Amino acid sequence: MTKLFRDKLTTKYLGRTLHYFPVTESTNAAAWNLVAEGCENGTVVLADHQLKGRGRRGSEWHSTRDYSLIFSVIYHIDIPPEKLGLLALLSGVSVVDGARVNLSFPLQLKWPNDIVFQGKKVGGILIETRRKNDGFIVVAGIGLNVNERNEDLMGELKHTATSIYIESGKRVRREALLASILFYYEYYLENLHEVIPQWNTACAHYDQVTSFHSGKEVIEGTFHGVTENGYAVIESMGKKRIFSGGGIEI
């Protein structure tokens, strides 16, 4: 897994230190252990299988051994706390650009952290942060359904999720895809102002009527993209409202 990755990697620092596990509990958990040991900025943790993959809001993330692309990126960033939401968006646009350039595969994004294809989920992003000095240590965990076949998707996922292989009929070299995603990840970390316009372009529901879930409230409104801090803009009954969290049904 790692030789091809290293051959394809064109970044300056992101992914130059790679920790590969055939199996681990969660690449995010492994990443925090490496942070505690004082790992290099830009270290990437990659696994072929996770036993306790973490999803958003305490959910579990299921991946398929050897078929999913599961990894976490560790970096330090100096950013005001109100802009932390940008990091999930940055991760999303890096995946979209990486898949477009490496595979000519057109992924899209769904607020706030989902990677989708024609309304079905292909991947998810889990950002975990801890304060460090003036900024934050970030562990950005990304899980992508890459080479899964229909029979690998369990239960409800059969209807709500898909993989790049299912949609394109082509097997993917996960190492090359990862190297391409990391190239864009590093680029956007250095060009944060490009994240929002790119995210809005890749958004699957831009200017569409959506059901927006914020806590217990459900707002029917039009999604008008994201603000410079990465918050969702929803227009409902003639009023624009801004949300930092929540989820969307499209």
Q: Where on the chain is the footprint of ligand BTN (CB under 6 A)?
A: 26-28, 50, 53-56, 59, 61, 70, 72, 113, 124-126, 141-143
Q: Check whether the bond before 106 is cis (ω within 30° of 0).
A: no
- CB atoms closer than 10 angstroms to residue 143: 27
Please give the torsion angle defined by the CA atoms of residues 70, 46, 152 and 54, in that order, rounded to the nearest 10 degrees.
Answer: -50
* Residue at shortest CB range from ligand BTN: 124
For ligand BTN, the closer of residues 26 and 102 by Cβ is 26
The distance of closest approach from Cβ of residue 111 to ligand BTN in the complex, given in angstroms and rounded to an integer, is: 12
12 or 158, CB closer to ligand BTN? 158
The alpha carbon of residue 223 and the mean position of all alpha carbons in its chain are separated, in whole angstroms, by: 20
Q: Where are the beta strands (DSSP E) in 24-178?
A: 44-47, 68-77, 108-110, 114-117, 120-132, 135-145
Q: Which is nearer to ligand BTN, 51 or 237 (CB)?
A: 51
Q: DSSP per residue over 157-182, as a string?
A: HHHHB--HHHHH-----HHHHHHHHH
Residues 2, 18: Cα–Cα separation, whole Å: 8
Considering the complex, what minimum distance in angstroms separates the CB of residue 40 from ligand BTN? 19
Q: Which lies closer to ligand BTN via its Cβ, residue 61 or residue 136?
A: 61
Shortest Å distance, C-beta 249 to ligand BTN: 15
CB nearer to ligand BTN: give 21 or 222.
Answer: 21
* In the complex, least distance from residue 139 CB atom to ligand BTN, rounded to whole angstroms: 8
- Smallest gap, in angstroms, from Cβ of residue 236 to ligand BTN? 25
Nearest CB to ligand BTN, comparing residues 8 and 110: 110
Nearest approach, Cβ of residue 241 and ligand BTN (Å): 24
In sequence order, the β-bridge partners of residue 85 are none
Are the beta carbons of 97 and 184 closer than 8 angstroms?
yes
CB 57 within 8 A of CB 49: no
